[in-house]
Amino acid sequence: MKKQLLVLFMGLMVMASTAFAERKPVDVVIMTTPFGSSMYSIGAAFERVFKKSGSWVHIKHQETAGAMYMYRYAAKNRERMAKGELPYTLIVGGVGAVPHLQEGRWPFKKIPWPTTKTLVSTAALVGHYGTFDPNIKTLADFKGKRICTRERARVFLGLFLDKPLFGKGYGIYKDIKWSPLGDANCKDAFLNNKVDAVPLGFGGIIMVAPDGTYVVPKAFPTAPTLAILSSGRKVHHLSFNPEIVRKSYDFSKDIIVYPALVKKGAFKGLDRDIWARVGFGTIHCDENLPDDIVEEIVRVRQTYRKMFGNYHASLKLMPTTAYPLGSPKKYVHSGVIKAMNKLGYPIPASK
């Protein structure tokens, strides 16, 4: 009986392999920002991994001038893609921008993409504030202080992050002396005592606790942050209040951002658990992307996750789940839910 079952199982496996091999290849374009950016690395890695996996979905990486070009192209050509006149196109982006794209909020008023959906997770950006001043103990102490932030043009990493938290959350946004210098210049200003506190940025491995809390057991600093941490001076790491973070960002109006617990020792010099903010990277697609293509992308992303890190070390930080973490369910492509359930991949809780 066991022998018969084994023969039957092997026969089914051969049939499945044959069906997979005979599947007609489909070209899918993945658009990214220019060479040198983290998005470029993701796009290039997806092309390589899908090729090595033997997938019938052939990912073609396309470098572009920037995010506005990518979103404009997808919004303009979505119907032609659905008709088969153009290859389906994926966009490397972040969960935080999705409601802005769908609703045409600024800065996407002229290029709304109401049918954009999240597909699979890529990486996560984790951040908190650092200071050399031991008298600055909480974010409430930023009142009247010189605080560095990103350039005015990088609204999703600057204004859209700062204003809800320090405006609605702490009520001191207008009382802070903001210095919108950008990562590299903020690092220089901070090391030269021109500002009182600076954002510290990391790529983080995200785990999901049973209660849905995002946990960061390991984090790797960006180049400017590494320079600060390696300066030889005592950096005081300021913890966010997770409840204030949750209450500050109204996803119907603001970007999507969450508190995450960074564990002691996650990076060199962190001697206690602290709360940080986390924003999730994702691949965007249109709701017209067929479910079978969605399923195959989810399968390859999940099965070959470690292979992405062979292209670029930063991609070793991709979550263990292909599910687009941090994305409210209404923004997730319906085929992702079907694929996760069909393939037996658990859908993480969120908090």
The candidate with the shortest Cα–Cα distance to 122, out of 259, 303, 301, is: 301
* Predicted local distance difference test score (pLDDT) of residue 38: 85
Answer whether residue 15 is part of any domain.
Answer: no
| 176 in a structural domain | yes
Q: What phi, psi does 45 have (nearest 5°)?
A: -65, -40
What is the reported pLDDT for 17?
A: 45
**143 and 287 belong to one structural domain:** no
pLDDT of residue 22: 64
Q: Which of 280, 295, 311 is the last residue of a domain?
A: 280
Residue tagged 């290039």 (tokens): 44
Q: What is the pLDDT of residue 290?
A: 97
Domain that holds residue 336: 24-122+282-343
CB atoms under 10 Å from CB of 27, counted, come to: 11
274 and 151 within one domain: yes
Q: Say which DSSP state 289 is in.
A: S
- Are 274 and 309 in the same domain? no
Buried b / exposed e over 84-123, threshold 16 CB at 10 Å, is eeebbbbbbbbbbbbbbbbeebeebeebbbebbbbbbbbb
Whole-number Å distance between alpha carbons of 107 and 264: 37
Nearest to 100 by CA among 122, 132, 67: 67
pLDDT of residue 351: 62
Asked whether residue 163 falls in the same domain as residue 269, the answer is: yes
* Same domain, yes or no: 30 and 117: yes
Residue at a domain's end among 280, 298, 315 = 280
Q: Is 350 part of any domain? A: no
Place of tokens 């979550």: 319
Q: Are residues 93 and 197 located together in one domain of the fold?
A: no
- Boundary of a domain, candidates 280, 302, 325: 280
CATH number of the domain enclosing 330:
3.40.190.10
Q: State whether 204 and 269 are in the same domain.
A: yes
pLDDT at 3: 52
Q: Which amino acid is at 158?
A: G
Do 147 and 214 lie in one domain? The reply is yes
Q: Is residue 164 part of a domain?
A: yes
Cα 262 vs. chain centroid, distance in angstroms? 17
| Predicted local distance difference test score (pLDDT) of residue 271 | 95
Cα torsion angle, 270, 274, 277, 282, sign: positive
Q: 192 and 311 share a domain? A: no
SS3 label, residue 227: helix
Reference 160, options 222, 97, 108; nearest CA is 97
Q: Are residues 295 and 270 in the same domain?
A: no
Could you tell me if 187 and 130 lie in one domain?
Answer: yes
Assigned domain for 175 exists: yes
Instruction: Give yes or no: residues 291 and 230 share one domain.
Output: no
- The count of domains in the chain is 2
Mean pLDDT by 10 residues, the chain (351 residues): 47 46 87 89 96 98 93 94 96 93 92 96 95 98 97 91 97 98 96 98 92 93 95 97 96 94 96 96 96 98 94 88 95 97 92 62
Any domain includes 72: yes
Give a yes or no: residue 154 inside a domain: yes
Residue 4 forms part of a structural domain: no
Burial of 345 (0-12, 13-18, 19+ CB in 10 A): middle
- Determine phi and psi for 339, rounding to 5 degrees: -65, -45
